[in-house]
Amino acid sequence: MKFSKKDDDIRVPYTMEECQSCQMQSKRKFIEGDYLFKESSDCKSCQGKLIIVKIFGESIKEK
């Protein structure tokens, strides 16, 4: 009989960028060298500056 079930979760790192001009947010896979509040690239829609506002892991459950 199994009394408890422990799931091992694998967290995939993502980076969230936000444009300083149009506030548009975009999510992409984390790249080594990313850190919070780093100016990353230009916004595709308004050419404003994108900064990294979040770096986080999202779980993929593995049983």
CA 15 to CA 35: how far, in whole Å? 9
| 26 interacts with other proteins by CB under 8 A | no
- Site for other proteins, residues 29 to 58, rule: CB under 8 A: 30, 32-38, 53-58
Distance of closest approach, residue 1 Cβ to other proteins, in angstroms: 17
Q: How far apart are CA 34 and CA 14, in angstroms?
A: 10
Is residue 42 within 8 A of residue 11, CB to CB? The reply is no
Does the protein bind other proteins through residue 23 (CB under 8 A)? no
Query: Which parts of this chain interact with other proteins (CB under 8 A)?
Result: 11, 13-14, 30, 32-38, 53-59
